[in-house]
Structure 1
Amino acid sequence: MDPRNGVPVGDAVVVGGGLAGMLAVGALLDHVDTVTVVERDRYPAEPVFRKGVPQSRHLHVFLTGGQHALEALLPGALAELEAAGARRLEAPRDFLTRAPSGWNRRYHEGRHSMVSCTRPVFDATVRARVLADAAKSRTRVAVLEGSEAVGLLGGADRVTGLRVRSRDAGRAERELPADLVVDASGRGSRTPRWLAELGRRPPREEVVDAGIAYTTQMFRPAAPLDAGVAVQARPDCPRGAVWCPVEDGNWLLTLAGVRGHHPPTDPAGVLDFVASLDEPHLRDHVRADEAVAPAYGFRDTSNRRRRYEAPGGVPDGLVVVSDAACTFNPIYGQGMSVAAMSARALRDVVSIGDLQAPGFAAAAQTATARAGDTAWLTAVGADRPYAAADRTTPPGLPERLRTWYFDRLVARAAIDRTVGAAFRDITFLTATPNRLLSPAVALRTLLLPRRPGLAGPPIHQRSTVG
C-alpha cells in the first residue's frame, strides 16, 4: 500500500494455501497489486480431510479472540460458518469441565464462546469467502495448486521472491519475484533452512514438549446432549478428553495422554481409555453412541516458537506467520484463532506501510508475533509440568513463578466467578496475561484458600456462582 494515497503497491507471495495462508491473503487484499498463493495440494471440490492438513481429523474450536479477528478481516464470516453447520458453545454454560481440582461451576456468563466444526468445513468456508472477496478487490489473486516452495530468492539482507516447483510429472521450477513473501506453511516450515542457504542465521527456537499424543473419533449421539465435556489431565491421571459437537449432528471425541499414557486407536482401546478417566457421564454417553468413522492418532504436539520477531530475525521482504513461526499444543484449541489474529495484525501493518521500505518486514513480524503471545504463555504454562527435560528449553525463574501462580489461579477459577472470568479472558484470547495480575484476581488467587471444585459434573446450570 502506498501510504500517501491508499493505492495498492507491490507484489506478494504466500507460501501455503491452508487456513493461515488464506487469512494472510485476506489481510493483503486491496493493499497490494498481486498475491500468488503456493499450495502443495489440490483443493477438493467438497470439504473433505486432506493430507496437507495433518491434524485435520481432530477437534478444532475457534475462540472469542479469533472470532473478533475474523469478523474484522471478513465481516459476516462467522454467520457463514454457522450456515455451514458450525456449532457455537458459550463458556462456561455449554461445557462441563473437570479441572484437576474438580468440576467447574456451570452458569450463563455471556462473554465468551467457541465455534466448533470439522477442519475441512472451516477451511473451505474461509477459502471460499477470501477468494470471493478477492474477485471484487483491487488485488489480483492467483492460486498455484499442486506446487511447492523450494527456496527463497534474494540475499541475506532482502528476500526478493520465491522458487517454486510443480508437483506434476514434469517437476518444472520457476521463480516468483515478490516484494513480500509470507510464509504460512505451518509446522513443517522450511524457512530456517532457506535463511541459512541465504547466509543468514536461523531464528532462535524455544520448545516445550509434554509428549502428549491424541486420538480422535467421530460419533453420532444416541440421545440429544446440551453440553460438551472436557476432562483435564491431573498429576495422578495424566489423561484427558474433550467431547464436542460439530456439523451434521455428529460429535468428536478427542482423547489425550502424556508419554506412557498415549490413547489407542482401536475401538475397544478407545472405550477402555474413556473408562480410565473415571467419568461415568462421558463414559456412558460414548458407549451408547454410534462410531461413524475410525479413530485417528496424532503425535506432533510440542509447543515450538521460532523467534523471528527478535532484532535481525527476518530480512526485508519476508514475514513468517502462524504455525510456521509459533505452534501450540493443539489440545488448547488456539491455533486457528491465533492465525486469524496474526492476519489481522498483518493487515494493520500493511495498510499503512510500504512493502519495499526498509524495516517493513520487521514491523510486520513483530505485530504478528505479538498476536500469539498470550496463547504461547498459557500453553507453555499448562504443559511445563509434564515436559521432558531433554526435549524442552529449561524454564527461567520468571517462568517458574508464572507456572506456580497459574496453577493456583486455575484451581481458584473452577469455583470463583471473578477469577474464572479473568481466566476465560486469557484462554479465549481477548486479554493479555496482565489481566491475571489485576488486584482483584491476584488477591483472590494468593490469599483465599485452595478449595476443590464440584464433586460431579453440573448437569444443570446455575444462574449465580459463589
Structure 2
Amino acid sequence: MRIGIIGTGPAGLFLGATLARRGHAVLAVDRDTGPDPDGTWARRGVMQFHHPHGVRPQVGEGLLAELPEAHAAWVAAGAEPIVFVLPDGRRMTGGMRSRRATFERALRDVATREPGLEIRRGHVDGVAVSGGRARGLVVDGVGEPVDLVVDASGRSGRATRDLTGGPAVEGDTGAAYVSRQYRLHDPADPGPMTNPLAWQADLDGYQVIVFRHEAGVFSVLLVRPAGSLRELRHEAVFDAACRAIPGLDAWTDPGRAVPITPVLPGGRLYNHYRSQPDVDGLVLVGDAVCTTTPMFGRGLATTMMQCRELLRRIDTGEIGGFGAWCDAEMRPWVEDHVRSDDHARRAWAGGDVDLTGPLPSPLIMAAAEVDGRIGAALGPYLAMLAGPASLDTVEPLAHAVYAGGWRPAPAAGPTREELATLLRRTAAS
C-alpha cells in the first residue's frame, strides 16, 4: 500500500519505518524539522518532549522486535536497562532509563535511513474523503493520494478532528506541573529511590517524582493543583522548594548534581480517549487515541502497544478490528487515570476517601501496606501486563482497610500551604 502518516513523533517514526520495511511506500508529514545542525532539538509544539518520561518494557521490546538497529542506537546513546530482583530471586527488566529526546533521536536516526519512508516537512491541512473512505492527505494545499491514512499527530492534532467527533473520555485533572533536568557529578551516586523507575513523594497537597534517565541525568517533576505554587517556574524558587522537601534535597544537593536545563513549566494535564473514526482507511494511533497524566509514566508504553497491534492487523488484513481492540485495551487505562486523578484532586482539597464506589488504583496499591494479600496482585498491573480490571479481585480487601479507618500518611515535608509561604518569600527576595 501507499500509506500516509500524520506526525513524526514516536508513533509516526516507528510505524513509518516498520511499514516501509514491510514493503509499503510511506509518506510521513510533520512541521518539525528534526534536530538542528548544532544538535539542539526544540520540538516546538510538543510540550512533553523535554519533560520526564517513564520508559516501560513495552518500548524496548517493540524496538527489539521490529527495529533492533534503533534499540542498539538508543543503548549506544546511553539508555540504560532497569533491572530489579523479584522476591523469589529472579531478575526482571523493568524498562529503560532514558530521556524522551534520547529515545526519539535514536529512532529518528534509523527511520530517516529506511528505504521506502519519505519524511516530509509540511502541514497536513486535512484528509480527503469520498464514499466513506479516506483517499489521501492534503499537504500544504496539495493532494497526496494514499491507500491508508494513519493519524499519529497527538491529542491536539486537527487534521482529522472533523472526522472523529469528540473524545469518548476526557478529563481535566485540575493539575499542572513543572520539571527540571539535572546531571549527577561524576562519580556521585543517585539519590534515594522508592521503586525501580523513580523516587516519589506524595506530600500534603502536591506530589514530587524524580525520574532517572541515562548517563547520570535525572528529572525532577513537581505536580500541583493548577493555579497554586505558580512561583515554581522561577529558578531560585524551584531551588528553594528542592531544598525544603526531604529526599528531594538529597537528589538536588549541589554537591551531588547540577541543573542542565532551566525550569520547564508544563500546562494543565488532561486524560483523553478518542474512539476510532467511522471512516474506512483512516486510523488513529498513539496520543491521538489516548493520553494520560505522567505520574505513572504510561504514555510511551500505550503508544508502542497500539503500534504493534496496528502492525499485526495491517499484516493480517484485520485493520477494521483495531477500534474494538483500542476500546478494550486502551480506554481502561484512561478511565483508570480519570478515577485516580479525581481522587488526587479531592485529597489535595482536603477531602476524605470516597467509599461509596470502587476505589481508584492508587488507594488499592497504598492499602497493600496494611493487607499483604493486595500486594501479591499488583505486579502484572504495575508492569501493564494486565489492565486495571486485574485489581478488581483485591479492591474489596482495600475497601475494608479504608472502611476500618486507615489512611495513607503524606510523605514527610512541607504542606502545600507551608511550601507556598516559603516560595512567596523566596520570590519576594
Identity of aligned residues (%): 24
Which of 306, 323, 337 pairs up with 1:379?
A: 337
Corresponding residue for residue 377 of structure 2: 422
Q: Is the 8 A contact 2:6 2:153 kept in 1?
A: yes
Which ranges of 4 or more aligned residues in structure 1 deviate by more than 6 Å? 106-109, 453-457
* Larger RCO (CA under 8 A, 6+ residues apart): 1
Distance 1:303 1:408, change over 3 A: closer
1:51 maps to 2:67: no
Question: Structure 1 residues 412 and 16 mapped into 2: Cα distance closer, same or farther (>3 Å)?
Answer: same
- The alignment status of 1:306 with 2:274, answered yes or no, reads yes
Alignment of 1:56-455 (within 5 A): 56-75=49-68, 77-90=70-83, 110-111=91-92, 113-132=94-113, 134-135=114-115, 140-145=116-121, 147-155=122-130, 157-165=132-140, 173-195=141-163, 202-222=165-185, 223-225=188-190, 227-228=192-193, 229-233=198-202, 237-262=204-229, 264-275=232-243, 279-288=245-254, 289-308=257-276, 313-353=277-317, 361-386=319-344, 401-402=357-358, 404=359, 406-414=361-369, 419-420=374-375, 422-438=377-393, 441-442=394-395, 444-446=397-399, 450=406
Name which of structure 1's ranges 371-380 and 295-304 shifts more when overlaid on structure 2.
371-380
Once residues 302 and 79 of structure 1 are traced to their aligned partners in structure 2, the CA distance between those partners, rounded to angstroms, is 33
Corresponding position: 1:24 with 2:15: yes
Structure 2, unpaired ranges of 5+? 347-353, 414-429
Task: Compute the displacement of 1:280 (Å).
Answer: 1.9
SS at match of 2:253: helix
Shift of 1:269: 1.4
Structure 1: how far apart are the matches of 2:377 and 2:142?
51
Paired position in structure 1 for 2:417: none
Deviation at 1:363, TM superposition (A): 1.8
Does structure 2 retain, via aligned residues, the 8 Å contact 1:27–1:344? no
Q: TM-score if structure 2 supplies the norm length? A: 0.80
Q: How far, CA to CA, are the matches of 2:200 and 2:370 in structure 1?
A: 16
- 1:344 to partner: Cα distance: 0.2
Residue type of the alignment partner of 2:279: P
Return the TM-score normalized by structure 1: 0.74
Distance 1:366 1:72, change over 3 A: farther
Say which SS state the counterpart of residue 137 (structure 2) adopts. Answer: strand
How many Å separate the matches in 2 of 1:367 and 1:267?
Answer: 44
State the number of aligned residues: 392
Supply the distance in 2 between the matched residues of 1:227 and 1:81 (Cα, whole angstroms): 26
Secondary structure at 1:363 match in 2: helix
The aligned residue for residue 32 of structure 2 is 41
